[in-house]
Amino acid sequence: MKFKLISQIAIALLTARLKQSLVAAFGVTFSITMFITLLSFMGGLNDMLDDLILNRTPHIRLYSEILPSPVQPIEQSIHNADAYHFVAHIKPKNELSSIRNSEAIMDALNQDNHVLGFAPKTALPIFYNLGTIHLSGILNGIDIDAESRLFSFQDYVIAGEPIDLKNTPNSLILGIGVANKMLVQIGDMVQITTSEGTPFNLKVVGIFQSGIEELDKVQSYTTIATTQKILGKPASYINDIQVKIFDINMAPALAKQYHTLFDTEAIDIQTANAQFETGSSVRTLISYAVGITLLIVAGFGIYNILNMMIYEKMDSIAILKATGFSGRDVNAIFITIALSIGLIGGALGLLFGLGLSAIIGEIPFNTPSLPTVTTYPINYNPKFYIIGAIFSIITTYLAGYFPSRKASQIDPVDIIRGK
């Protein structure tokens, strides 16, 4: 009953200054619209860039590397134990650059319930032979099924079918940079030479475009079996195991565990791509800062309109107080005005924000580096809408707080006698 009365008075005062109230509400609408659009767009962009790198990057990579012996004999000497030792005469051994005991490791990974999946890989440096010209490159032997499932490999094959890699013996999928240089198409044969000088002929079954030009100029893909055949190595010869786990945050801990367990090098995604997360979080921070600034500006608009309303409606406030409305009632009336401006403006802002981001999401956005993206990326995260709604209410409440307090402290005697 009492709330009904207060809201009726609030509505009467609002409609008395309908134009200004609408302008104030529009300020909130505009700022919430921009807030939602900005965050959705920035969120979409962040997700796209994350996908670009993170989805194609293993969470943990197991590999072997030629490294010097970590403990040199002289360090084990009991003399001068705390001195600095210069002599490092044990040089790296000529080892196979394959992961030792790879089959057992893969079995273990299959059993591990942290692991979503893994894709083994054998990479070897090669030359693409084009008449007398040799272009250096890297031939990756991959498990095409695992690679497609875990790292969306098929998305980046822009011509041909990835599955043909398995069905056609001695085939490869060529990076678009190399393919363009060599003027080859699907079905053509290309000749490659290994670093040891062994020539080999492979049939092109697909063209690959990763979006990272440097990669497309050198990389090409074939099956693991083909690389092992080119190298003349046994089936257990694997350079690299790319592991994807369920919880990406566990990657550093698991990497450390695998390093000791499997006796291989292990690097996690956080260490390998540290700069990436920083970029995402800074972009998000900037969009929040801009959005909240817009809201604060809208808050000043509401503050102004309420102040004006209080000066204009001084008489009404005085008579309300004279006829028995307490300061708290008057305060509630003006807070109600502020909040209804905020709620109406905010709700419209959320709708317009959704609309505007949907429109942006339809704008074509074609870039050769991102073959899977055809329109501007938009992230429709409900979190943005919740934050927008909460902030619109908080800022309008704060904007209404001081004028309302002033209205509640108006002394009716001053107004009535002032005439």
Partner 1 sequence: MEKKTVIEAIGICKSFQGPTEVKVLSDVSFAIYSSEFVSVVGKSGCGKSTLLYILSTMDTNYEGDLMLDGVSMKNKKDAVLAKVRNEKIGFVFQFHYLINEFNNLRNVMLPALKMGKFTSEEIEAHAYAKLKMLGIEKEALKFPNQLSGGQKQRVAIARALINEPLIIMGDEPTGNLDKKNSDIVFDIFKELVETYKQSLLIVTHDLDFAAKTQRTITMEDGQLTHTIH
Q: Does 2 bind partner 1 (CB under 8 A)?
A: yes
Distance of alpha carbon 322 from alpha carbon 317, whole angstroms: 9
Q: Which of 66, 83, 322, 358 binds partner 1 (CB under 8 A)?
A: 322
Kindly give the residue spans of alpha helices, DSSP state H, lying in 170-273.
Answer: 176-182, 213-218, 224-231, 251-262, 269-272
Q: Does 12 bind partner 1 (CB under 8 A)?
A: yes
Site string for partner 1, 388-417 (x = CB under 8 A): -----------------------xxx--xx
Q: Does 161 bind partner 1 (CB under 8 A)?
A: no
- Binding footprint of partner 1, residue count (CB under 8 A): 27
Q: Does 13 bind partner 1 (CB under 8 A)?
A: yes
Q: Does 311 bind partner 1 (CB under 8 A)?
A: no
Q: Between residues 246 and 311, which has the closer beta carbon with respect to partner 1?
A: 311
Q: Which of 63, 221, 325, 384 binds partner 1 (CB under 8 A)?
A: 325
CB 60 within 8 A of CB 266: yes
Distance of alpha carbon 185 from alpha carbon 269, whole angstroms: 35
Rounded to a whole number of angstroms, the minimum distance from the CB of residue 307 to partner 1 is: 19
Owner of token pair 């695992």: 146
Rounded to a whole number of angstroms, the minimum distance from the CB of residue 10 to partner 1 is: 11
102-111 and 251-262 helices, crossing angle to 10°: 140
- Beta-ladder partners of 267: 61
Strands 219-223 and 133-142: parallel
Q: Does 358 bind partner 1 (CB under 8 A)?
A: no
Q: Between residues 164 and 329, which has the closer beta carbon with respect to partner 1?
A: 329
Of the ranges 162-170, 222-230, 317-325, 381-389, which one interacts with partner 1 (CB under 8 A)?
317-325
Distance of alpha carbon 263 from alpha carbon 241, whole angstroms: 13
- Classify burial at 248, counting beta carbons within 10 Å of its beta carbon; exposed 0-12, middle 13-18, buried 19 or more: middle
Residues that bind partner 1 (CB under 8 A): 1-2, 5, 12-13, 15-16, 315-316, 318-329, 411-413, 416-417, 419
